Amino acid sequence: MDVPAAPAMAFKAYKYKEVLVRDYLLADSYAPYAAVLGGILMCKLAYDFTRIISSFNFKGYASLNNMQKIEWNNRGMSTVHAIFITVMSVYLVFFSGMFSDQLDGPVTVRSSSLSSFTLGVSIGYFITDIAMIYWLYPALGGMEYVIHHMLSLMSTMYAMLSGEAHVYIYMGLITETTTPGINLRWFLDVAGMKNSKAYLVNGVAMVVTWLVARIILFMYLFYHMFVHYDQVYDGSF
């Protein structure tokens, strides 16, 4: 069966990128674990970078109490992860061609070195954030945050280690699109800008991103699972 030219070319371009990542970033079986450590390091750098930038560019930062500063920096860290994982998730699900129906084999068991590496980075973030929540509990969030992060960590870790369900894990991770807006809302509130135009615009943007990333996208996710029900049900997932 001939594969249409456009999907074939898209997948070929994706394979070139995967070879680059596999040969240089994932040369051995320890690479996914290195990605986890890289994710933890990314969180540390983002946390410190947020603290330094805020100290020099936001006069009100110095007046925050210690717990507010920690949460401020933590939200900066989560924003960096959200941007990273959103970009990678959108690319892998919709543009890489890896989950195209034009390809042979169950979509539910497709994975790549790049998708596994990206999940490793995200696992590093979840580990870091859970550690901070536990250490400062309940200042950074209650039990609902712990349960949410633990479920996210376990499902993402399973996908990385097994190579299964990457398409659905990444669809779920696209919901991180809403995180920057949530964090910006908190930043503006703490900065005393709750009545500003920026606060209003951000609120509208939050409604739009929630509609797209957490309602429309999940409707598509359930539709996708229904269409590929035979692959899910027969144990391929």
Count, residues in the chain: 237
pLDDT interval class at 8 (50, 70, 90): low
Instruction: Answer yes or no: are the C-beta atoms of 94 and 220 closer than 8 Å.
Output: no
pTM of the full structure: 0.85
Distance CA 87, CA 138 (A): 31
Burial of 229 (0-12, 13-18, 19+ CB in 10 A): exposed
Please provide the average confidence, as pLDDT, over all residues in the chain: 90
- DSSP-assigned letter for residue 97: S
What is the per-residue pLDDT for 56?
Answer: 94
Burial of 58 (0-12, 13-18, 19+ CB in 10 A): middle
What is the per-residue pLDDT for 43?
Answer: 98
The label of the residue with tokens 């949460």 reads 71
Nearest to 122 by CA among 28, 214, 37: 37
Q: Which amino acid is at 140?
A: L
Helix axis angle, 66-90 relative to 166-173, nearest 10°?
A: 130
pLDDT interval class at 19 (50, 70, 90): low
Distance CA 178, CA 206 (A): 6
Stretch among 26-40, 81-95, 153-167 having the lowest mean pLDDT: 26-40
Nearest to 186 by CA among 78, 102, 97, 81: 78
Mean pLDDT, residues 153-167 taken together? 95
Given a cut of 60, whether residue 3 has pLDDT beyond it is no
Given a cut of 50, whether residue 102 has pLDDT beyond it is yes
What is the per-residue pLDDT for 32?
Answer: 86
Distance CA 33, CA 44 (A): 17
What is the per-residue pLDDT for 104?
Answer: 86
Nearest to 100 by CA among 228, 213, 235: 228
Instruction: Answer yes or no: are the C-beta atoms of 55 and 61 closer than 8 Å.
Output: yes
The encoded tokens of residue 164 equal 């299964």
